[in-house]
Amino acid sequence: MPKRGRWELHPDLLRERSRHGVVRVADLEVLGIDSKTVYRKCLPGGQWRRLLPGVVQLHNHDPTMDQHAAAALLYAGAGAQITGVESCRRQGMRPAQLPVTHDVHLLIPHERKIRSAGFVTIERTLRLPKPAVRNEFPLAPLVRSTTDVLRRLYDDEMCTQVLIESIQRGRCTPEMLLRELNKGSQRGTAVPRRLLVEWTAVRSMAEAHAKRLSSRLVNPPSHWNPDIHDASGRYIACPDGWWDDVGMAWEIDSFEFHFARSDYARTLERNTRYAAAGIPVVQTLPSELTHNPADVLAKLEAAYLTAKARPRPAVHLARVA
């Protein structure tokens, strides 16, 4: 241990006591660095930077995401874990599909008395989950992290975007997310709960978009998710949308909305059955529903008129959905 006042000669010791170049002032004092010296070095133009109360960065450049997160955890102390947007991002959800924020949302044990400060949002909880550790950062499980994001959103489209991303990238299920929302405070859950209840009744997240969009069609689908059989009773498919008067199917297909690539092989087999039965099919990518809705509507209307001008295929509904 160097003598008091000689820490400048031992920069490696400072780095060892830091986390990604971020350190608590209390830990620097243990090394013999007076707090007045610490904060003097954090003044404008100084070598260091104060990030949070009692937490400094050992350089004066803009902090990285890891340094932001490390500072938040050092400020909150033992038992803290990252949740919300930052946790979702670190567990593989795409930043472009998440709300834009520079804040770090932390969960801490309920008995701890720590307040939010700076870019850190502190939430005391009686339901502190077992964290997942990624690159030495404790993260709330993705289901919890996602619902902590959703509780702070009030826009249908943003909620939809976050839910789809967590389901497709994070392998959460609507049922898992709904259970987590039901366990905690009901404040801020009205929009995501409504969407999840709706989605548990449909086969894919894209269908929720398709249903809303189809209400603008002159000739909307007559059925959703019906089982279609040929004249001999053999099963053909269960399309997302179905026009029974003309025998036309609408399928929402994309790797983004299926859990495994094996689903794609089943899609090819399904399309072969459609062709053998003479059923016209309109296939739409989920991204088209939100980015090119006018084109989707135009294609569906044109396909419907073409199907109407031809003899209806000899198929029937086995079940009305």
* HEC sequence for 127-191: CCCCCEEECCEEECCHHHHHHHHHCCCCCHHHHHHHHHHHHHCCCCCHHHHHHHHHHCCCCCCHH
Domain span(s) for CATH 3.40.960.10 in the chain:
205-319
pLDDT digits (tens, 9 = 90+) for 45-81: 899 999 999 999 999 999 999 999 999 999 999 999 9
Fold of 205-319: Endonuclease; Chain A (3.40.960)
DSSP 8-state class, residue 7: G
Per-residue pLDDT tens over the stretch 71-119: 999 999 999 999 999 999 999 999 999 999 999 999 999 999 999 999 9
For all residues of the chain together, what is the average pLDDT? Answer: 88
List, for residues 12-42, the tens digit of each pLDDT value: 777 778 899 999 999 898 888 889 999 999 9
If you write DSSP's letter for every residue of 71-107 in order, what string do you get? HHHHHH-TT-EEEHHHHHHHTT--GGGS-----EEEE
Residue 320 has pLDDT above 50, yes or no: no
* pLDDT band at 3; cut points 50, 70, 90: very low
Report the amino acid identity of residue 31: L
Q: What is the pLDDT of residue 119?
A: 97
Counting residues of the chain whose pLDDT is more than 90, the rounded percentage is: 66
The whole model's pTM is what?
0.66
pLDDT digits (tens, 9 = 90+) for 206-257: 778 898 899 999 999 999 989 999 999 999 998 999 999 999 999 987 544 4
Residue 56 tokens read as: 């400094």
Alpha-carbon distances, residue 1 vs 9, 12, 72, 82, 202 (angstroms): 12, 12, 28, 33, 64
